[in-house]
Amino acid sequence: MSINQLIFRSLRKNLKNYYLYVFALIFAVALYFSFVTLQYDPALNEMKGTVKGAAAIRAASVLLIAIVGVFLFYANAIFIKRRSKEIGLFQLIGMTKGKIFRMLTAENFILYYSSLIIGIFIGFAGSKLLLMILFKVTNIEAIATLSFSEKALVQTLVVFSVIYLFIMLMNRWFIQKQTILSLFRVTSTTEVKKVSVLEMLIGIFGLVLILTGYYVSSKLFDGDFATINELFLAMAFILGSVIIGTYFFFKGTVSFLFYLLRKRKGGYLNIGEVLSLSSLMFRMKSNALLLTIITTVSALAIGLLSLSYISYYSAGQTARNTVAADFSFMNQEDAKRFTEALKEKGIPYKEKVIDVIQVKADLTSILENVDSSILNVDLAAMPVPVIRDSDVETIDLPPDQTLFTGYQDYLAQFMPFKKSGQIQLKGKHEGIKLRYLGLEKTYYISYRFTYGFPTVIVDETIFERLKKDIDPKIQKESTVYIGIHISDEEKVEKADDMFQTMNFHAPADSRLAIISNQKYQFGLIMFIVAFLGLTFLITSGCILYFKQMDEGQDEQPNYTILRKLGFTQGDLLSGIQGKQLFNFGIPLILGLSHSYFAVRSGWFFFGTELWMPMLTVMLVYTALYSIFGILSVLYYKKMIKEAL
């Protein structure tokens, strides 16, 4: 048989093995090509200029190459391992390693480059979709048209050819160390030996590293690290200690716990433990690295997605907090002109007029340990906006009490309030002591009055007393806030168009205008980050899934034995579910925890809201990630079913 015939024979026979590899390849190419096409699209030029996006995009494409590279290497590693027997057999019949390598290379070449072409086509179609999404998030009204970019094509070809070379090198190395003996050996050798004290110490050390990383991250922006250099060092330290800690955790702690658990059983394992515990332990050494990678990548993805969603989410929230209505005015006349225009167009609205005065307040007794030097204010006499309770429908206060409202998570980071206490409002002459009841989230007046500080609500009688005793020096341009709510949600846009064409005497704001401005500013970065985050999610999910397919095939003989012994498919499946809960669950939980601390340390640079967007991202991520877990269980189910 000539070598060409051999190549085609094995190509045909291996199609089942290849399909996974081909899928991985097409997916990676499509992802990369669509991103690069976008990068070279003229429609993006404008945006790149505005937000230093060029650098962001370039950084992102480098990261993309890294993750795509890792992904392909991994797929290839599984794939070549599947064929190690075949390679041994070729050697046995007297083929030289060089010849085998040439055969594999030729075979691979055909597949690699045909997948590359398919991937490029899919990627091109995908890039149009991406552009449409990008326009949507940045609030740009344009039709997504894309031209096929030669530059993108060349770049993709070059990048993937380089990856191809590396993969070939890897194969070369693999074949080199492959002996005929491996043909006869059981696929994998045992990885569990006696767990030593050293291993236990490593596990504990890992936990300590992770916790240290968390601790430093919580101190990151507390002012302990003053210079940029120190900050970078601290970040590098956190990253390093958490990642290494995770690795040690898997390698030491998990192995150790498993070992103890198994030892306690004294050799008496039930079917669930056979399929989960012992199978996991059997591969713990090689899995520790993989699980660490998955955990890190998940943490990165969740962190990035959270941050970008925080900024996107905050855009709407910030706008709402800034305006406290759909439109806000500081001048009765401006408001009147606008409402008349609304009436003319037949747009229904509600008007809310609130008197706002600025009063100095002594907040020292309700603030938690604050270093006022950062904020540059005198906490004993800080000007705050005050409104009367009768202007707020839902609130009625007795004269000796006060409620604060409208406070951003972000300010709370620097200036946390206590649950209750005493404050003093200082007019020009008299001071009024009030019992502080707490802090609410709602915003009643616009940013032009609050500057991000909470609004103080007091009883009507107190308000009148303060108003008489007002200090004119600290008042804003106006002491009246007029908020316009458009009753019909769909007409807000129309009203905004009108708002844009009018000129006003005093500052006036439109919620929609603020949102689109925010989105325009942060949209591109957000988009890139989200794209990377999703890529991370899909690649890490795929890698884990591939790994599980690999394990499933390795373990199929075990399922055969167990079924021969009389265990039902259901028995086996429940054991597998336990194992998958670990394989997918532990990296997810650790990843969530890592990302929580990462986001926690610096989210306030990205937006004003932490919990809602972060929890949303975490939930969605968990759901998407679980899909891969479920897929893998289904795959095992198939393996078990076919085992007998």
Residue ranges in contact with other proteins by CB under 8 A = 185-186, 188-190, 192, 266-271, 274, 278-279, 281-282, 555, 558, 560-570, 644
Distance CA 551, CA 130 (A): 35
Shortest spacing between CB 283 and other proteins, in angstroms: 9
Helix axes 228-248, 284-323, angle to 10 degrees: 140
| Alpha carbons within 13 A on the beta-carbon side of 624 | 19
Residue number, 183 or 274, with CB nearest to other proteins: 274
Measured CA angle at 502 (ends 498, 505), to 5 deg: 140
Residues 6+ apart with CB under 8 A from 634: none
Distance CA 544, CA 260 (A): 26
Shortest spacing between CB 581 and other proteins, in angstroms: 18
Q: Classify the C-alpha dihedral 597-601-604-605 as positive or negative.
A: negative
Shortest spacing between CB 248 and other proteins, in angstroms: 24
The encoded tokens of residue 598 equal 């990462």
Residue number, 477 or 642, with CB nearest to other proteins: 642
Residue number, 475 or 574, with CB nearest to other proteins: 574
Distance CA 409, CA 613 (A): 12
Shortest spacing between CB 195 and other proteins, in angstroms: 13
Residue number, 187 or 422, with CB nearest to other proteins: 187
The encoded tokens of residue 487 equal 């009753």
- Report the amino acid identity of residue 582: F
User: Coil, strand, or helix at residue 277?
Assistant: helix
Residue number, 122 or 271, with CB nearest to other proteins: 271
Residue number, 559 or 597, with CB nearest to other proteins: 559
Q: Residues 369-373: contacts with CB within 8 Å, 24+ apart? A: 370/414, 370/415, 370/416, 371/223
Residue number, 372 or 560, with CB nearest to other proteins: 560
Edge-to-edge, what's the strand order for the sheet holding 349-355?
349-355, 480-486, 327-329, 508-510
Residue number, 139 or 187, with CB nearest to other proteins: 187
Shortest spacing between CB 554 and other proteins, in angstroms: 9
Distance CA 331, CA 112 (A): 68
Shortest spacing between CB 588 and other proteins, in angstroms: 24
The encoded tokens of residue 81 equal 């391992």
Residue number, 397 or 562, with CB nearest to other proteins: 562
Q: How many residues are there in the chain?
A: 644
Residue number, 272 or 507, with CB nearest to other proteins: 272
16: left (phi over 0), alpha (psi -120 to 50) or beta: alpha
Shortest spacing between CB 569 and other proteins, in angstroms: 8
Q: How buried is 494 (Cβ within 10 angstroms: 0-12 exposed, 13-18 middle, 19+ buried)?
A: middle
C-alpha distance from residue 587 to each of 78, 337, 570, 580 (Å): 21, 59, 26, 11
Residue number, 276 or 322, with CB nearest to other proteins: 276
The encoded tokens of residue 362 equal 């002594």
Shortest spacing between CB 194 and other proteins, in angstroms: 9
Shortest spacing between CB 579 and other proteins, in angstroms: 11
In the DSSP assignment, the letter for residue 545 is H
Shortest spacing between CB 561 and other proteins, in angstroms: 5
Distance CA 58, CA 156 (A): 14
Shortest spacing between CB 274 and other proteins, in angstroms: 6
Maximum Cα–Cα distance across the chain: 106
Cα 329 → chain centroid: 38
Residue number, 278 or 478, with CB nearest to other proteins: 278
Shortest spacing between CB 270 and other proteins, in angstroms: 4
